[in-house]
Structure 1
Amino acid sequence: MAYYDLAVSAFTTLFVTVDPPGLAPLFLGVTHGMTRQQRRLVAVRGVLTAFCILVLFALCGAKILQTVGISMGAFRIAGGLMLFTIAFEMIFELRQQRRSRSADAAITKEHLHHIAVFPIAIPFIAGPGALSATVLIAGTMEGVAGKLQLIGVIAAVMALVVAALYMAHKVDKVLGVSGRLLLNRLLGVLLAALSIQFIIDGIRSAFGF
């Protein structure tokens, strides 16, 4: 597959998994009572933290798997199943409910100065699905050029996350309840198809098809 096709596939997978538009209403809930400047500071810190975590998994995820004796084929199958679960939650509007419960818990248990790391960076942005997707994508984009391209893709998705969080009020108002539900379901269907492809690739790699 050409580098351009790999980059498009990587961007689509990571964008759908992170779901920047879906983060906007959750961000508003978590930062309730903050000024616009405080919200922007929290958004930037949270996204930078998530970026560093995703880049770490992009560069070292395969080595971590090798250390614990997990083949890339097996991880692709497991990661594909995890992404399919996320897609199922998105289609049937279960993911947003789970994220909302995490946000509510964070408001009562964590000080506002720490929410950039939890829950915004982890698990809202760099959650299990995004981490798994990053490691899976890294397995298809080999070499220095591939890794640099993947880091560029991660940076592009994080830039969209920053934009979504900066314009959280406007995004939430424009989409509305119906718009969010429709977008969530459409992205869920797309992620389901991508997750099945990961599973197929994993089976081929594991069994040498």
Structure 2
Amino acid sequence: MDITVYLHAITALFVIIDPIGAALIFNSLTANDDQQYRTQMAVKTVLISTATLILFGNYGEALFAQLGININSLRISGGLLLFYTAFKMITQKMEFTATNIQTDISVFPMSIPMLAGPGTLTLCILLFSKAPDTATSIAVSLAIISILALTFVFFLLSKYLKKIIGRTGDEILRRFLGVILAALAIQFIYDGINNIGL
């Protein structure tokens, strides 16, 4: 396994997925529910997100190749999409309200768009596109699994996390991560422009 690729991937994924922020949203959606339901939703959300990101990351580039889309074009468009996501993280306020009705939140909104949204899917394609061998692909896959495992732990501890970090802490963290994601997005655009003629 390539440790450098693993660390790069896990940093990028942590920034865009924001496990702490996702856990606080998860808590707001399940605040009135029992622990069994919360655990069930946490397990389903993480499993769906893991499968989606790894499958799309591995086969998304091949799909785009069939459509005649160059990977460098994808880097530029993906960078723009990630920048848009970062801009929203920095400037907008995310609000989710809990209801007394137990609904399955594992697919929407927790998996898509929260954990496996357009920005994360694009990032996974870009990360796997830089994986020329099996060892590198394994490193990216392990990074995805690691981040989502951490997210799962935060989901289970979200009630306590809410008390510790609070709304203000979450706002600060999300905006800080948004700035980092914006820089990552610009790097993807820069790489795409530099290599588009190759």
TM-score w.r.t. the length of structure 1 is 0.88
Change (3 A) 1:33 1:176: closer
Q: Comparing both structures, which one devotes a greater share of its residues to helix?
A: 1
Q: Structure 1 pair 90/36, CA: closer, same or farther in 2 (3 Å)?
A: same
Please tell me the residue identity of whatever aligns with 1:24.
A
2:194 equivalent in structure 1: 204
Paired residue for 1:134? 124
Q: Name the residue aligned to 1:71.
A: 70
Match of 1:36 in 2: 35
Hey, what's the Cα distance between the residues in 2 that align with 1:107 and 1:169? 16
User: Could you tell me which amino acid in structure 2 is paired with residue 161 of structure 1?
Assistant: T
Post-superposition shift, 1:22? Answer: 0.6
Tell me if structure 2 keeps the 8 A contact 1:73–1:202: yes
Aligned to 2:25: 26
* In structure 1, C-alpha distance between the alignment counterparts of 2:17 and 2:33, rounded to whole Å: 24
What is the letter of the counterpart of residue 48 of structure 1? L
The DSSP-based 3-state class of the residue aligned with 1:112 is coil
- Amino acid aligned to 2:175: R
* Equivalent residue letter for 2:165: L
4+ runs deviating over 4 angstroms: none
**Aligned residues of 1:57 and 1:134 also touching (Cα < 8 A):** yes
Q: Could you tell me which runs of 5 or more consecutive residues in structure 1 were left unpaired when the two chains were aligned.
A: none
- The aligned amino acid for 2:77 is A
1:64 maps to a residue whose letter is L
Structure 1 residue 112 displacement after superposition: 3.5
**What SS does the corresponding residue of 2:170 show, helix, strand or coil?**
helix
The Cα RMSD (Å) is 1.9
Q: Is 2:37 the counterpart of 1:47?
A: no
Please, which of 118, 122, 144 is the counterpart of residue 112 of structure 2?
A: 122
Distance 1:143 1:112 in 2: 44
Partner SS state of residue 17, structure 1: helix
Give the drift of 1:107.
Answer: 5.8
- The answer (yes or no) to whether the contact 1:18–1:130 under 8 Å persists in 2 is yes
Corresponding residue number in structure 2 for 1:15: 14
Question: What percentage of residue pairs aligned between the two structures are identical?
Answer: 35
The whole-number CA distance in structure 2 between the counterparts of 1:81 and 1:68 is: 20
Say whether the 8 Å CA contact 1:11–1:157 is kept in structure 2: yes
Equivalent residue of 2:68, what SS?
Answer: coil
Cα distance in structure 2, aligned partners of 1:112 and 1:59: 34
Distance 2:102 2:141 in 1: 29
Partner of 1:61: 60
Does the alignment pair 1:158 with 2:148?
yes
- Structure 2's unaligned 5+ residue stretches are none
Shift of 1:113: 4.7
Q: State the secondary structure of the residue aligned to 2:12.
A: helix
Q: Distance in 2 between the 1:66 and 1:162 partners?
A: 34
Q: Output the amino acid matched with 2:128.
A: A
Q: Retained in 1: the 8 A contact 2:89–2:175? A: yes
State the distance in 1 between where 2:147 and 2:13 align. Answer: 7
